[in-house]
């Protein structure tokens, strides 16, 4: 235990750990933001419009919600490799490629969750807006306002998935020290080397950071609720 505490005290002076922390949060925040935007748009459109093949599309999305990360990583790897369709982009073994892989994983999750919340709330909101003569634009804004807490929960879920990912980022990023190594891939590397103490310490640090971010989001949400009451 003393070794873990001492390592936690020294971790912020280690350039490799600092780099892993930066890469982890840069990847998680960017992929979560992109996936949230896509998930909100796709989820609301999927709820709003009826079309042929809608049920099949919903089933496909639900299947993709459980897609193994290594499968997503392999797909992105093949697309970004030198002979792949997007090989000219040069995104393989970069943070951009890792963000692309994470977006592929998280977007179906966000879409499915937003769609389900919209199915539960959108009909009542649209009926209310129709009775007061609101325009389609005002109706959409009202729906987003009513779903803001659901959207917040979905974003937190997506961020948690992004920050804890190993398989896809290992394949696409290559776990390059000081470049694409994240906190989770660093833990995996330490485990393979038999350095369990530092691996546990890094895991504790990751959980602590996730807890602080979660607490901050809850605090801001609580302040927003109290502000509305006032």
CATH number, domain with residue 146: 1.10.3720.10
In a domain? residue 128: yes
Predicted confidence (pLDDT) at residue 164 exceeds the cutoff of 80: yes
The contacts found for 57-66 with CB under 8 angstroms, 24 or more apart, are 58/115, 61/108, 61/111, 61/112, 61/115, 62/108, 62/112, 64/108, 65/108, 65/109, 65/112
Structure tokens at 173: 């990023």
Predicted confidence (pLDDT) at residue 227 exceeds the cutoff of 60: no
pLDDT at position 167, please? 83
Predicted confidence (pLDDT) at residue 101 exceeds the cutoff of 80: yes
In a domain? residue 221: no
Find the angle CA(165)-CA(170)-CA(173) to the nearest 5 degrees: 110
pLDDT at position 99, please? 95
In a domain? residue 118: yes
The contacts found for 209-212 with CB under 8 angstroms, 24 or more apart, are 209/21, 209/25, 210/160, 210/163
The predicted model scores a pTM of: 0.87
In a domain? residue 56: yes
Contact 106, 35 (CB under 8 A): yes
What rounded mean pLDDT belongs to the chain?
86
Question: What domain count does the chain have?
Answer: 1
In a domain? residue 190: yes
Contact 93, 174 (CB under 8 A): yes
pLDDT at position 202, please? 81
What confidence tier does 134 reach under pLDDT thresholds 50, 70, 90? confident
* pLDDT top residue among 178 and 73: 73
pLDDT at position 46, please? 93
In a domain? residue 147: yes
* pLDDT top residue among 219 and 132: 132
**Which has the closest alpha carbon to 95: 146, 20, 4?**
20
Predicted confidence (pLDDT) at residue 209 exceeds the cutoff of 90: no
What confidence tier does 210 reach under pLDDT thresholds 50, 70, 90? confident
pLDDT at position 172, please? 94
Contact 44, 143 (CB under 8 A): yes
Domain extent at residue 175? 12-194
Rg (CA), the chain: 21
In a domain? residue 230: no
What confidence tier does 225 reach under pLDDT thresholds 50, 70, 90? low
In a domain? residue 151: yes
């Amino acid at each position: 235990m003393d070794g873990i505490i001492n390592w936690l005290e020294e971790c912020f002076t280690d350039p490799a750990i600092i780099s892993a922390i930066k890469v982890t949060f840069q990847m998680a925040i960017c992929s979560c933001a992109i996936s949230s935007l896509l998930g909100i748009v796709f989820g609301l459109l999927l709820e709003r419009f009826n079309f042929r093949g809608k049920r099949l599309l919903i089933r496909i999305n639900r299947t993709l919600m459980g897609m193994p990360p290594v499968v997503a990583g392999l797909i992105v790897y093949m697309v970004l490799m030198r002979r792949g369709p997007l090989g000219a982009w040069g995104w393989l073994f970069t943070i951009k490629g890792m963000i692309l892989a994470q977006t592929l994983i998280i977007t179906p999750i966000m879409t499915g969750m937003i769609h389900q919340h919209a199915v539960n709330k959108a009909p009542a909101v649209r009926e209310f807006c129709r009775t007061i003569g609101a325009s389609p634009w005002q109706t959409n804004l009202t729906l987003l306002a009513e779903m803001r807490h659901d959207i917040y929960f979905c974003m937190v879920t997506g961020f948690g998935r992004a920050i804890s990912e190993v398989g896809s980022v290992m394949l696409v990023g290559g776990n390059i020290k000081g470049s694409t190594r994240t906190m989770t891939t660093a833990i995996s590397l330490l485990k393979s080397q038999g350095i369990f103490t530092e691996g546990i310490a890094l895991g504790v640090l990751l959980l602590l950071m996730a807890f602080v971010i979660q607490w901050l989001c809850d605090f801001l949400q609580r302040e927003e609720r109290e502000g509305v009451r006032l």
